[in-house]
Structure 1
């Protein structure tokens, strides 16, 4: 394609970005206006407070609080109130000593000086922990006006990459090879040496309110450039000269002076490409749509050709009912008397279906709200808080679905069914989460959940979710599902390789996973590589496509199995779509060894522990994704066609 011809992705991106010029502000995200010192307006602020968050690393799953590294502290330290989602995610936001006045430029301003006497064990331990943080490439995460302070730098092909964090320092190993950020400066060349980024050049971009109908100015971006300077005079720092280095083997005292510079600027105009989503998002959507169209065509072909012919034949009133029933049946019609036979371990299946319904509804509502912007990344912790609250409040659908399915199977142990629905899967997840929290607590990580928060989560679970599950089960057990099955089970003929349960289940999970694996890469990056995920509109669309794909793949494969006269479809239909979780596990293992650089036993255990929680939730969700289309298909086919048989048997044609 020539350079002058617009690509399809570019055209699609342009269409996606067309929108009206007016806007609105979401609840809780009202903008703050700033004015220079001496302004007479009372509607804007003068001081800009910089907040600091926990520090994390792509080489370790263990995050740590800002104070854990012995950086400069705020004399009047305050912690904003954190919601449940922030606490569960391990965010630890606090004020910092970096305070600015709007429109006041400062150059090489001192923040504080940290001294380490290596003869004292406590100070030596702090220095060694700081060096370990630089070796593992731990990253600062600063916040200004609820916006992340980003570090932008140039990578290959002169492309600019912005990271919502910056390293505390870097390390040059014993062979003279610079690691991580040490490659940006040729002065970082001493072997077995740590270089501390003790100075930051901060640039705050603002948009003036002149002619906009509001007073003052609003901050639109904040960027910084980390630097390393060895300040000879801590009272009069000079931001030039040699970098601040710490030998790998430290035998002398170390003194680190932290400083900063801040400037204010207006934004530059940006092109359309800066606001378009990355190409992989669009490719993911198109890939998923192709799969859905293919499966929809296959299911439609079955419904229109096979079922339509059969039901039309039942409806031919000009034929004798004797001739109708003397015709030899074949395929799926031969098992209509056994298809609703209760499955083995129906209790467990009904519990899985109930929990899956709860997770399905929770995910749908959460993504829908996030798609509207109410759970944007700017509203920190809102996504997790919304998911937890919705899960607690959706105990009623879980109990209803589980009880109704268990009653359909002819079960009578309703108390056991309700208790397992309320406690089995959440109990497994909480036990895994509790063990992971113990490891975080032993390692001193900021991600360790406080004991009070654990008690609050348990109170929500047992005080709200469990009673609501009983309420839903009460209404579910009142429903009656009289289905007729033959007294003697029909013998299942010898099955070919492709109609046996295991091959069908393995093949059934491939197509749903093919719809999500590109989005899955970005989601795992946001979790483990600490990148911000913001494309919730695309994610919601992929979610809908995933549900449709799970339903259609299950309908298609189970129809083929029924045509082979194998009527054991209950567990097979659940496992066909839920086997997608196995591919998720395989992809997570591949991601761990190919994309991450995690070292240490604790970080490895934490990664796979949290991964197992995600796999279990995805297993229940995708296993329940077949319910809508699947039950419509089979109840329509077998219940309706069987009713037609009864009508013709009782009422002979005129």
Structure 2
């Protein structure tokens, strides 16, 4: 009794913490705020190269960018791996609230293969993604109408194409200078601050230097005393074989009134086209309202007809019925491929349950965009655990159709659709792996997915099927005729003429 009281008290306290976030607050793992004081190091991490023209992501170091002495991969969850995220360290390191200008990252020599890779990614409009304190880098763009409102574009472009004045030949140029701006929200009581924004403006500059010194490089086009680093007469950096590209960056810090809890709001805005939520909700409500009215009318009609059919002792009055009412004694007859239908229904219930629970978790805030890869991970795990409902619904329908081989039906439910999806996924993953894309799922992750499938989903399908088959079979609301109603054969391509008389077949 004391143990039960202890568990009840714990549950009540947990509900109070959820319902009163102002008094007691908690943070999900991986999304807790971090406080920085002046001078704290801010390491910038790099993510995949992505594009809207092609769905293949690539690793950041697939291109010949500046590499640190040792590349370290961040521990990633299942959703990040399936999305193709590859979060790694970089040579870019800031110091909190200390501006830096004209920082040289490295000098890279482009061979034929590196220049080709850069050109291909510029053609496909690939963008570079970076992360600072779990915030993705974004390019600040002003609207074309000249308004003061601004929008964000995730990541910055690898480069662009253009031509020199007086020449029609199109050249490729790389964005080798990055002008970062970090926005922070300062605590009024202490000296600590939290990062609430991470912006960048990319430039293409053909840096000039006399003698290159790796320890202390001196650039004529970039020095610490220059206020306007990027000038209008700067020549852009061309991408070509045997070219030397110098990567540079500068960083400025700006205090912002945006609080840490609202720092993702600006990142979630669309670039140009705003979503018309009112119109979408209005349309959905109209569709649901009309669908509900039609469903109510049909259900009342069906219930009245079913009650009349059950009161009839003979079928003499069937000749007075027309249309769909003639087949009331055959609509609940098991179809030819009833087992396949049960598998379809079970899989549909599994997908529907996964979608519903995922939406509920998203509404409660457990799938915040700051929790990178959380949505994909939740969908995979929920699909695995919803195998219980798939087996239960499939077995209930199978027993309604008077099936006896419930084990075979369970095996089909557990392996048919997941097997097809896994086969297609395996072939596509092999093709992506051949393209050296970061979207290719590693062998370890593939093995983990198979273990989730065979270790959790399949047993749950069997448990649900066993529970569903133990239940009594659902009874049909009307009696089913012992002899199926004969459907007269229709003449194919029969056309009745209006002038010559007779039928043409």
- TM-score tier after normalising by the smaller chain length: 0.7 to 0.9
Q: 1:335 to 1:398 in 2, by over 3 A?
A: same
Match of residue 448 from structure 2: 456
Q: 1:57 to 1:372 in 2, by over 3 A?
A: same
**Conserved 8 A contact 2:51-2:126:** yes
- Deviation per CA, 1:440-460: give whole Å up to 9, x if none: 111111111111111111111
Tell me, in whole angstroms, the C-alpha distance in 2 between the residues paired with 1:313 and 1:76.
80
Q: Choose from 163, 167, 171 the match for 2:153.
A: 163
- Deviation per CA, 1:48-69: give whole Å up to 9, x if none: 1111101012222221101110
**Conserved 8 A contact 2:384-2:452:** yes
Match of residue 486 from structure 1: 481
Greater radius of gyration (CA)? 2
What is the SS of the residue equivalent to 2:246? strand
Say if 2:272 is the partner of 1:284. no
Tell me, in whole angstroms, the C-alpha distance in 1 between the residues paired with 2:480 and 2:309.
20
Say if 2:118 is the partner of 1:130. yes
- Offset of residue 254 of structure 1: 1.0
Q: Choose from 37, 49, 57 the match for 2:51.
A: 57
Tell me, in whole angstroms, the C-alpha distance in 1 between the residues paired with 2:174 and 2:433.
28
Q: Choose from 377, 380, 384 the match for 2:372.
A: 380
- Which piece of structure 1 moves more, 439-448 or 335-344? 335-344
Q: 1:52 to 1:190 in 2, by over 3 A?
A: farther
Match of residue 446 from structure 1: 438
Q: 1:314 to 1:410 in 2, by over 3 A?
A: closer
* Count of residues in correspondence between the two structures: 439
Tell me, in whole angstroms, the C-alpha distance in 1 between the residues paired with 2:298 and 2:407.
41
- Offset of residue 156 of structure 1: 2.4
- Deviation per CA, 1:215-270: give whole Å up to 9, x if none: 611111111100111111251231445233326xx46x311111111111122679
Say if 2:203 is the partner of 1:227. yes
TM-score by length of 1: 0.62
Tell me, in whole angstroms, the C-alpha distance in 2 between the residues paired with 1:75 and 1:276.
37
- Offset of residue 308 of structure 1: 6.9
Tell me, in whole angstroms, the C-alpha distance in 1 between the residues paired with 2:334 and 2:304.
29
- Offset of residue 472 of structure 1: 1.3
**Conserved 8 A contact 2:38-2:191:** no
Q: Specify which structure has the higher proportion of helix.
A: 1
- Offset of residue 407 of structure 1: 1.5
Q: 1:479 to 1:73 in 2, by over 3 A?
A: same
- Offset of residue 326 of structure 1: 6.5
Q: 1:337 to 1:57 in 2, by over 3 A?
A: same
Q: Choose from 295, 299, 310 the match for 2:295.
A: 299
Say if 2:50 is the partner of 1:70. no
- Offset of residue 334 of structure 1: 4.5
Q: 1:26 to 1:370 in 2, by over 3 A?
A: farther
**Conserved 8 A contact 1:188-1:195:** no
**Conserved 8 A contact 1:195-1:243:** no
**Conserved 8 A contact 1:172-1:189:** no
Q: Choose from 187, 200, 207 the match for 2:178.
A: 200
- Deviation per CA, 1:555-611: give whole Å up to 9, x if none: xxxxxxxxxxxxxxxxxxxxxxxxxxxxxxxxxxxxxxxxxxxxxxxxxxxxxxxxx
Match of residue 357 from structure 1: 349
Match of residue 172 from structure 1: 162
Tell me, in whole angstroms, the C-alpha distance in 2 between the residues paired with 1:346 and 1:243.
71
Match of residue 12 from structure 2: none
- Which piece of structure 1 moves more, 420-429 or 410-419? 410-419
**Conserved 8 A contact 1:171-1:194:** yes
What is the SS of the residue equivalent to 1:33? coil
Tell me, in whole angstroms, the C-alpha distance in 1 between the residues paired with 2:133 and 2:450.
34
**Conserved 8 A contact 2:152-2:269:** no
What is the RMSD computed on CA atoms of the aligned residues? 3.2
**Conserved 8 A contact 1:105-1:264:** yes
**Conserved 8 A contact 1:26-1:374:** no
Q: Specify which structure has the higher proportion of strand.
A: 2
Q: 1:107 to 1:21 in 2, by over 3 A?
A: farther
Tell me, in whole angstroms, the C-alpha distance in 2 between the residues paired with 1:467 and 1:323.
48
Say if 2:465 is the partner of 1:473. yes
Q: 1:88 to 1:323 in 2, by over 3 A?
A: closer
Match of residue 619 from structure 1: none
Matches within 5 A, 1:447-596: 447-481=439-473, 482-483=475-476, 484-492=479-487
- Offset of residue 279 of structure 1: 4.2
Q: 1:290 to 1:494 in 2, by over 3 A?
A: farther
Tell me, in whole angstroms, the C-alpha distance in 1 between the residues paired with 2:305 and 2:385.
44
Q: 1:142 to 1:207 in 2, by over 3 A?
A: same
TM-score by length of 2: 0.79
- Which piece of structure 1 moves more, 152-161 or 26-35? 152-161
Gaps of 5+ in 1: 1-19, 38-45, 117-122, 177-186, 496-654
**Conserved 8 A contact 2:151-2:269:** no
Say if 2:250 is the partner of 1:261. yes
Q: Choose from 88, 95, 100 the match for 2:94.
A: 100
Match of residue 9 from structure 1: none
**Conserved 8 A contact 1:357-1:401:** yes
**Conserved 8 A contact 1:198-1:229:** yes
What is the SS of the residue equivalent to 1:437? helix
Say if 2:123 is the partner of 1:141. no
Tell me, in whole angstroms, the C-alpha distance in 1 between the residues paired with 2:166 and 2:248.
19
Match of residue 31 from structure 1: 33
What is the SS of the residue equivalent to 1:32? coil
Q: 1:324 to 1:488 in 2, by over 3 A?
A: closer
**Conserved 8 A contact 1:57-1:137:** yes
- Deviation per CA, 1:605-639: give whole Å up to 9, x if none: xxxxxxxxxxxxxxxxxxxxxxxxxxxxxxxxxxx
Tell me, in whole angstroms, the C-alpha distance in 2 between the residues paired with 1:404 and 1:309.
26
- Offset of residue 291 of structure 1: 1.2
Gaps of 5+ in 2: 1-19, 223-228, 491-505
